[in-house]
Amino acid sequence: MGERLEFEHCFVCGPKNPVGLHLDIRRENKRTWCRWKAGRDYVGYDGILHGGVLAAIMDDMMAHAAYSIGKDVATAHMEIDFRAPAYAGDLLDCEGHVTEMGQGRAIRLEGTIRRGETVIVQARSVMVIVDSSWGKRP
């Protein structure tokens, strides 16, 4: 079924974030997945989910894929292709996976959001391995 990794106040996956998406992201062997029902609170235009929300989901799905191999990472670069609109009420399947352990600290990843067979979003990222204290505020 896959291990669950959570950051309590993360906008995408944090269960304690009152305005968050609360995705139940599962991870195993360089791969992540989840299913999420999109709510009206996250639309941008006329019932269509905001692209920034979809981008945030892709960023988390790919980062969690890196975490699945024991790496703390930060996003260095991300590209997103929006292929079709997603609507409030849609049931979306989200996934991410490691595609390449690059030279040095770089990890390459890909992710997809689908509604059934329809690809909504495709994304690619380069994440860099960071020290676990990297995100701590001084």
Going by the DSSP 8-state scheme, the letter that residue 41 receives in this structure is G
β-bridge mates for residue 111, sequence order: 96, 123
Angle made by CA atoms 125, 132, 135, in degrees to the nearest 5: 70
* Token code pair at residue 16: 């304690």
Total-model pTM: 0.90
CATH fold of the domain at 3-129: Thiol Ester Dehydrase; Chain A (3.10.129)
User: Dihedral through CA 33, CA 39, CA 45, CA 46, nearest 10?
Assistant: 130
Per-residue model confidence as pLDDT tens digits over 88-119? 999 999 999 999 997 889 999 999 999 999 99
d(CA 134, CA 76): 14
d(CA 6, CA 120): 25
Measured over all CA atoms, what is the biggest interatomic distance in the chain, rounded to whole angstroms? 46
Per-residue model confidence as pLDDT tens digits over 1-50? 555 555 778 888 888 888 888 888 998 889 999 999 988 998 998 899 99
